[in-house]
Amino acid sequence: QEACLTQRIVNPLLLGSRLRSLVEERTGGCTSSIGFGSSKLLARLATKKAKPNGQVWFLGVSGDQNPGNCAWRWAIEELNSSISDTSLPTAGLYSDCELTGSDAEWLSDLPLQELPGIGRVLVVKLATAFNVTTCGELMRGVTRGQLIDLVGQKTGERLYWLCRGRDPCDQLHVQKPCKSVSACMNYGIRLQTLADMEKLVRSLTTELVSRMSNTKLTQDSSVRGGVQGQNLTVRVFIRAPNAPQESAKFM
């Protein structure tokens, strides 16, 4: 953990090449693809472009606002020491698109169903309403207001930005609060008497209380302050008539 905190990878493509060579070496020839990006969405799109056997790097415009402090820019300069300011990302075909140049052209030709979270029903709905099937067609021919009117505020906003290489929901929640604490038996137990049931419920309750007392307030927190519940859900499974009397996993 200390090594991860103190080391900085300047060129992700070097890491990608090393990982891919290790995969091929240790699997006896299995190839792999890696995508890098200045956001989670761009990394996923880069992986699509990298397949079936390659690696691609998408540097978004919004990830390049501070050239002096941007680790992505440092990596580019190390990868190509002859790069000049004129060759760095500039406004492309679409001024609000996250990608530029040939990367923006690739995104423009990308079918809408390749975007994460965009299903077949939504694709058919867009094609029927606006006669669009690619990200570029959606960018050129459909306004944000039209999308919101068709699919609603939340989905319309997200779709408007997804086809431009941005995701409003693309946030890394480092301190994610705990939402639930549970204790359960994941194998079948055949309770024969009321005493057996009371013993099982008591043991599960004790385990649940212990877990609640030792739960961290956030994933990154070192303090185990414990939590209090607002709702209690109890799930009881009944043996099916054709199930065996003794569970196969019961020990």
| Token duo for residue 32 | 């792999």
Task: Dump pLDDT digits (tens) for 1-56.
Answer: 334 444 555 678 888 999 999 999 999 999 999 999 888 899 999 999 999 999 99
pLDDT beyond 80 at 67? no
The Cα–Cα gap between 101 and 56 comes to: 14
pLDDT score at 86: 37
pLDDT score at 185: 76
Band (pLDDT 50/70/90 cuts) for residue 248 is low
Q: Which residue reads 């709702």 in tokens? A: 231
pLDDT beyond 70 at 191? yes
Q: Which residue reads 């990982």 in tokens? A: 19
- Nearest of 232, 216, 236 to residue 224 by alpha carbon: 216
Q: Which residue reads 């996923």 in tokens? A: 44
Band (pLDDT 50/70/90 cuts) for residue 235 is confident
Backbone angles phi, psi at 47, to 5 degrees: -65, -40
pTM: 0.58
pLDDT score at 94: 56
The Cα–Cα gap between 219 and 172 comes to: 13
pLDDT beyond 70 at 186? no
> Which residue pairs, CB below 8 angstroms and at least 24 apart, start in 70-73?
71/8, 71/10, 72/38
| Token duo for residue 45 | 């799109």
The verdict on whether omega for the bond into residue 241 sits within 30 degrees of 0, i.e. cis, is no
The verdict on whether omega for the bond into residue 67 sits within 30 degrees of 0, i.e. cis, is no
Query: In 10 A of CB 13, how many CB atoms?
Result: 17
Q: What is the CATH number of domain 11-67?
A: 3.30.70.270
Low-confidence winner among 84-88, 120-124, 139-143, 209-213 (lowest mean pLDDT): 84-88
The Cα–Cα gap between 16 and 157 comes to: 33
The Cα–Cα gap between 170 and 117 comes to: 12
Architecture of domain 92-171: Orthogonal Bundle (1.10)
Strand partners, 58: 37
What percent of the chain shows pLDDT beyond 90?
40
Three-state secondary-structure class, residue 178 = coil
pLDDT higher at 63 or 237: 237
pLDDT beyond 90 at 92? no
The domain limits of the chain are 11-67, 92-171, 180-217+226-236
Chain-wide mean pLDDT for the chain?
79
